[in-house]
Amino acid sequence: MTGDRVDIVGDTTGAEGSLARIVRIVPRVTLLRRSADDTDAVERVIVANADQMLIVVAAANPEPRIRLVDRYLVAAYDAGVTPILCITKTDLADPAEFLNNFAGLDLIVFTSRDDAMPLESISTALVGHDTVFVGHSGVGKSTLVNALVPDAHRAVGVVNTVTGRGRHTSSSTVSLRLETDAGRGWVIDTPGVRSFGLGHINTDNILKAFTDLATIAEKCPRGCTHLPDSPDCAINEAVAAGELGDTGKARLDSLQRLLATFAVAPHH
């Protein structure tokens, strides 16, 4: 898998004709998976050992979709990978309204346009990490990767102006080394992920990502779903009582939206 660390033996000079073989895959720290749809138990691994996920969404062309970002967030939290949001194409639309939907999350957000990319701040966030770039095809992932890693030469696609959908120009997942004055990191560019089924998700992992709410949930009744209709839910009660301040309501809304994203799936 892309991102795997391996041990190799043999001639490791890399000279022409040299031969080495992989003898061991180092145990994976994280594994980002998806199923084709929510009822599909077959998992496809996207990348191993990523510790960050840069979710790339365009402000327009293609239109941003809250639900898709929610699904990426759920997949990241489930895998123990830290999500970061990057809104591209802000030259085409103002993303403020869309971003309001994620105000309750502890999420670093970058906004970018191809004539003014915040490359320094993004690089800083990537140094010392393995960051997988995900997002619908056509949102500008490869454009961003090429700007961050100048010798990446990732193919950039053309977005169909009628459907707003990109052609899959970069069809493989690759790891690219990011080199900056502040240090190194790995950038993993993926082809557009069309479906992001969550057939394998463990909902406890979603709650764990909301550390403040997870502590309160220890007082919830067994089997509590933490959804609005859940009786005696300690989180619902704490937020209603104003114990979590102004941000409590927004964080609970975000948690419940993510839990509901998953609730449609029959597993677990």
Ligand X SMILES: Nc1nc2c(ncn2[C@@H]2O[C@H](COP(=O)(O)OP(=O)(O)O)[C@@H](O)[C@H]2O)c(=O)[nH]1
User: Among 155-163, 166-174, 218-226, 255-263, which window interacts with Zn ion (CB under 5 A)?
Assistant: 218-226
* Residue ranges in 77-116 that form contacts with ligand X under rule CB under 6 A: 88-89, 91-92, 113-114
The closest of 209, 194, 195, 196 to 259, measured between CA atoms, is 209
Question: Is residue 52 within 8 Å of residue 129, measured between CB atoms?
Answer: yes
From the CB of 225, what's the least distance to Mg ion, in Å? 37
* Residue whose token pair is 């041990």: 7
Rounded distance, CA 84 to CA 105, Å?
A: 10
113 binds, among Zn ion, ligand X, Mg ion, none (CB under 5 to 8 A by kind): ligand X
From the CB of 207, what's the least distance to Zn ion, in Å? 9
User: Among 13-21, 30-38, 134-142, 258-266, which window interacts with ligand X (CB under 6 A)?
Assistant: 134-142
Q: Of 159 and 238, which has the nearer Cβ to Zn ion?
A: 238
Identified binder of ligand X from the candidate list 13, 15, 17, 158, rule CB under 6 A: 158
91 binds, among Zn ion, ligand X, Mg ion, none (CB under 5 to 8 A by kind): ligand X
* Residue ranges in 222-261 that form contacts with Zn ion under rule CB under 5 A: 224, 226, 233, 235
The reply on whether position 139 binds ligand X by CB under 6 A is yes
The reply on whether position 170 binds Mg ion by CB under 5 A is yes
Q: Of 165 and 257, which has the nearer Cβ to ligand X?
A: 165
From the CB of 66, what's the least distance to Zn ion, in Å? 23
| Cα end-to-end distance, the chain, whole Å | 27
Rounded distance, CA 57 to CA 97, Å?
A: 14
User: Among 40-48, 62-70, 113-121, 164-172, which window interacts with Mg ion (CB under 5 A)?
Assistant: 164-172
Which tokens go with 52? 């960050």
Rounded distance, CA 72 to CA 34, Å?
A: 10
The reply on whether position 141 binds ligand X by CB under 6 A is yes
Question: Can you say whether the dihedral through the CA atoms of 233, 238, 244, 248 is positive or negative?
Answer: positive
* Contact positions vs ligand X (CB under 6 A): 88-89, 91-92, 113-114, 135, 137-143, 156-159, 166, 169-170, 192
* Contact positions vs Mg ion (CB under 5 A): 141-142, 170
